[in-house]
Amino acid sequence: MFFVDDDVKDVRTTFPKPRHLKAKGIQQIIENAIQAITDLDLTVCCFSRTPNWSIIDPFNSPIVPVQFATVGFGVRGAARRRVSDESLMGRADMDWGLRTLRDDRCVYADIRYFFDNGTIFGGEGGNVGLIDEEHRKTITEKIEKRWGKYVPKGRIGFRKNQSVVALRMKVPRSNPTALK
């Protein structure tokens, strides 16, 4: 199964001279990602959360094993039966993503492509208007308590004037000794 947020406005490449993809190109990258997770026996595929090169490196690391599956992502196998914790409404996707990394060890994230749905909580769909900032703060604290060091606290330094505290994952999936 492949999910796409209802407010996606563009799909484009993340390398120099970003190229906006047409329907046929979008279909191809989705099919390629689904085929890759099938061949690798993984359960989740997704794409970059940002086109910002200060965060991603689509040239040297085009596929990464840790990524928050959001906006456009595919699931198969055990991930199809992994249910979101409804008590965490507004942040259940973060919990689901961390459980996926715990249970499946990695996701297949092709960061050469970016599904753009605009500013988070800035559109008209989803939870906009249903969840106030106090609820989001309470749920964020539950996620931070549940996942501890894998969800660093505090604001992300490079984001300015953000209205919602962004959560991020910090789940190591590389061997520091091997990198030396």
Structural domain contains residue 159: no
Which pLDDT score is estimated for 163?
Answer: 47
In the three-class reduction of DSSP (H, G, I as helix; E, B as strand; rest coil), residue 153 is classed as: coil
Which pLDDT score is estimated for 29?
Answer: 97
Confirm whether pTM is higher than 0.75. Answer: yes
Sign of CA dihedral 91, 96, 97, 102: positive
Which residue shows structure tokens 């989740």?
Answer: 44
Residue 123: DSSP 8-state: S
Residues of the chain with pLDDT below 70 are 119-129, 154-169, 173-180
Structural domain contains residue 129: no
Exposure letters 65-94 (e unless 16+ CB within 10 A, then b)? bbbbbbbbbbbbeebeebeeeeebebbbeb
Which pLDDT score is estimated for 148?
Answer: 85
Distance from C-alpha of 137 to C-alpha of 100, rounded to nearest angstrom: 23
Which pLDDT score is estimated for 39?
Answer: 97
Which pLDDT score is estimated for 159?
Answer: 45
Distance from C-alpha of 75 to C-alpha of 93, rounded to nearest angstrom: 13
Distance from C-alpha of 37 to C-alpha of 143, rounded to nearest angstrom: 27
Structural domain contains residue 91: yes
- Phi-psi category of residue 105: left, alpha or beta, with phi > 0 → left and psi -120 to 50 → alpha: left
Which pLDDT score is estimated for 161?
Answer: 46
What is the Cβ-side half-sphere exposure of residue 169, based on CA atoms within 13 angstroms?
23
Which pLDDT score is estimated for 180?
Answer: 56
Structural domain contains residue 40: yes
Which pLDDT score is estimated for 166?
Answer: 58
Structural domain contains residue 155: no
Number of domains in the chain: 1
Range of the structural domain that residue 31 is part of: 2-119
